[in-house]
A and B are shown apart, each in its own frame.
Chain A
Amino acid sequence: MTIKASLTGAFLAAVLSTTALNAAFAADDTIKVGILHSLSGTMAISETTLKDAMLMLIDEQNKKGGLLGKKLEAVVVDPASDWPLFAEKARELVSVDKVSAVFGCWTSVSRKSVLPVFEELNSILFYPVQYEGEESQRNVFYTGAAPNQQAIPAVDYLMANESVERWVLAGTDYVYPRTTNKILEAYLISKGVKPEDIMINYTPFGHSDWQTIVSDIKKFGSAGKKTAVVSTINGDANVPFYKELANQGVKAEDIPVVAFSVGEEELAGLDTGPLVGHLAAWNYFQSVDTPANAEFIKTWKAYTKNDKRVTNDPMEAHYIGFNMWLKAVEKAGTTDTDAVLDAMIGVSVPNLSGGYSTMMPNHHITKPVLIGEIQGDGQFETVWETPGLVVGDEWSDYLPDSKDLISDWRAPMSCGNFNVATGKCGGKGS
């Protein structure tokens, strides 16, 4: 009995070590890319698509011959919408699987939980989602929008084109909406909006009973001044919110809602007929009419074998980030972290809206800002766009804590929070 057990044990050990060896051999002729997106739990709704998009991009690159003469190999892990698990899985990707770069995270809290891991193990993370700013880390590249690439242009649009004078800032109660609304409030007041013309409202995650809030918005909007809602309401809560808006008859012509977290994916679960004209601000819409985008959509639909799959802004962010990484690795001639970090700054690649995006020294990228109106078919129609590209501003100029901070990761400064008032590196977020 004991002999048999130990024999089995030895056999198992032998099998295990051979597979480990195989893996080690395989690692030599491939470059590994980590994908850190939740495939289960609450965030799976948004993040699964990004995993698919990354797999497609890697697949396409391999068809073109890979990178540095090697094939790319995707390593997918599932952090299951569990923030501490994000850090664990990130560590696993970098130290066990030896990936050269990681593409992942969605929520700010998941990003914050993996930051120390990437710093400690000196690896690279590409973060594809619009976020609240107030951060710039050496090992992270932010390919989503900073507040000045999404929120502020949207407010400018409403002020100029819809002559909005009263503002409802509605958001889910967590860090992204709270910081964004703080920036927006400061911005609006700097533009001469009176504090009594701003209503701020927070709701819990997954809030589903919007009756009181929608009727409050209607009441707030009946003060004789043009009113708009700026929504940082997160994912799941949007569907019941928009359903309530439609049912209570809040029309976009009277009180437009501009959203920062509602894209093509979120609208897929909605009948958009009654919502025509409500707005969203992004850096990319599926409806953007460029040859690059048409090609991307075609590849995506073919890859997912689903004619109804939509594309969205964070997918474009991964597209840009992935191509930038490829270019930087080619430029550096190696996947070594320090060399790639240096090579990344200044890299410029085509985006899907017909221009070029460049990685800036603050690890944020340049993007156009598009304002789109919801259409009956669940797509957006661009009604306005910034004349040129907007540089991501990591430290908001409208917050007293951060207005003196800048970030520049080029030598000799190499600092994520340089205080121009004191002339020292360090300050908030250090």
Chain B
Amino acid sequence: MYRILQILFVALCLLISAHVVGSRAADDLGVLVDQLGAAKLSDMDDRIAALAKTGDAKVIPVLEALGEGELYQRKSDGKVFLVKAGGADLQLVDPVTGADAGATPKAAMQKVKVNNAVRRAVRSALGGLTLFSEDTGARLKAAQSMLQTPNADALEAIETAIAAEKDGSVRKVLVEARAVTLLVSDRPDDQKRQAIALLAEGNGRNGLAVLTSALATADVSLKPDIEAAIARIEQTQAFWSAGQNVWYGLSLGSVLLLAAIGLAITFGVMGIINMAHGEMVMLGAYTTFLVQEVVRNSYPELFDWSLAIALPLAFLVTGAVGLAIERGVIRFLYGRPLETLLATWGISLILQQSVRSIFGPTNREVGNPSWMSGAFDLGGLTITWNRLWIIVFALAVFAALLFLLKRTSMGLKMRAVTQNRRMASSMGIRTPWVDALTFALGSGIAGMAGVALSQIDNVSPNLGQGYIIDSFMVVVFGGVGNLWGTLVGAFSLGILNKFLEPYAGAVLGKILVLVLIILFIQKKPRGLFALKGRAVEA
């Protein structure tokens, strides 16, 4: 009996002490977190380091919230809370227990200030804390942050992590991070030499940065190795930079192609100098904006599909506007190029100002769907998703248009009318309607281009102006009346521009391209792919 009581007593003691220790740890954490609220920006480094030192997993969400600017201090008692955005009030979450702490009006809370230095400290602290996380994504992020901000103290942790790591991609980053960290540590030279050799293999910019700064402080014996490694990385980068230029050129070319392809129909095939072409692109971009507004307000889960929804709508809207312009103005002006030019220029001003009056003069926000954001590395190339999709889209539009013109009866009629109007008319083709539909098609395609361009450019009433000159340039350079000419013209101008830009600068590069085109047109007035035959002379 006595023995049992004794055991019970001991157990009770243990429980209590465990409880006390536990709550003291929680209290300490709470105090540390609350200190974040009171700290000056310059003291934040130490406070974050103190939090990270606890090694407590509860610190992770706190630091993440701090980095995201979701940590708030209550003005009344200085307590710090995690905050979830929701409506007018702030939803508070206790940072230590993770329990819901009710809602508070915004005015009662003050955001814990963060700046870039704080974000950097958070990033490296989180790197240390999540290096052994269960989640592969978190480990990868941790490894990358170790790679970006090498810290000699973390070297042992990285080595332990490499030994434990099973995932190949994380391991690869960790090995590189170890090499980078080794260079800033005080390990023996032969280990450093290995690290240098490893970095020389890669083409990473992080490696280059660390090697360059290591060069200044390294031992004399190491210097030749480092210099050789730098030279090697620079050589690899020079090789890739040529590839990068080609890629940028293709990407610029695809934008030019998109802008010009509608014009290749209205100007190239029909011969109308359509100065309002750029405004069709602009209307397409505004259609995207409207679609995204509706999607954001009513169906937020469909946001990633918003571009797919906007595409047909933009085609219909701008096609209809194009149809109205052709029926209302242009059809009275066939064969009078100067009047057409002035009339369509007037229309472009009217469209610009009406958009400005309706939507306001400021830029409108068109978001990138998640599949169009960010970039991935392909060898030494950085390829951004939005550019990749725009290239794919431009080529798809080109293929569809080519199919329409060459393989459908509508396309046959279009070509017939533009080649010999009177003959086509006597064969029973309603030439006025073919004209109208061709113009609407060209405008509609410009509208679809606007959907794509809204992803990389401003959505403002001036959007179209930036593209009209380039579009004419591409069509004239490629050869009027030839779709393939537009394709080749767009891509060759894009690549030429991007190869000139690194040497001549953006301003001079553009001037050089224009000069080259002028010289080219002197030599070959009909462009790259000139149409041959009697139709041209008519």
A residues within 8 Å of B by Cβ?
Answer: 39-40, 42, 44-45, 48-49, 161-162, 173, 201-204, 206-209, 211-213, 215-216, 218-219, 221-225, 236, 239-240, 243-244, 246-249, 252-254, 256, 265-266, 268-271, 274, 276-277, 373, 375-376, 381, 383
Contact = CB atoms under 8 A, between A and B. Distances in A.
B116 A248 contact: no
Contacts of B252: 209, 211
Interface of B: 41, 68-69, 111, 113, 115-117, 119-120, 123, 148, 205-206, 208-214, 237, 244-245, 248, 251-252, 255, 352-353, 356, 360-365, 367-368, 373-375, 382, 384-387, 456-462, 465-466, 498, 501-502, 505-507, 510
Contact of A48 (B148, B361, B373, B462): B361
B120 A253 contact: yes
B119 A239 contact: no
Contacts of B117: 161-162
16 contacts: A40-B353, A45-B363, A161-B115, A206-B465, A212-B498, A212-B502, A222-B208, A224-B209, A236-B460, A243-B386, A247-B386, A248-B382, A253-B119, A373-B115, A381-B111, A383-B115
A42 B255 contact: no
State the 3 A-B residue pairs at the shortest beta-carbon distance, nearest first.
A269-B363, A224-B213, A224-B212
B375 A253 contact: no
A213 B506 contact: yes
Contact of A247 (B115, B363, B374): B374
A44 B386 contact: no
A133 B385 CA distance: 42
A204 B361 contact: no
Contacts of A208: 255, 456-458, 466
A345 B209 CA distance: 53
Given A44-B461, A45-B363, A243-B368, 19 more contacts: A40-B356, A44-B356, A44-B361, A204-B506, A206-B462, A206-B466, A222-B209, A239-B363, A239-B457, A240-B456, A240-B458, A247-B374, A248-B375, A248-B384, A254-B148, A268-B365, A269-B365, A269-B459, A271-B367
B374 A373 contact: no
B69 A376 contact: yes
A266 B361 CA distance: 11
Contacts of A213: 501, 506
A404 to B, nearest CB: 32
A162 B120 CA distance: 11
Contact of A243 (B237, B382, B456): B456
B192 to A, nearest CB: 16
Contacts, number: 156
Contacts of B374: 247, 249
A202 B505 contact: yes
A42 B464 CA distance: 11
Nearest to A383: B115
B320 to A, nearest CB: 25
Contacts of B353: 40
Given A42-B462, A212-B502, A236-B460, A269 B364 contact: yes
Contact of B365 (A271, A376, A381): A271
Nearest to A371: B115
A203 B507 contact: yes
A239 B120 CA distance: 25
Contacts of B205: 218-219, 221-222
Contact of B385 (A239, A247, A269): A247
Nearest to B248: A211
A222 B365 contact: no
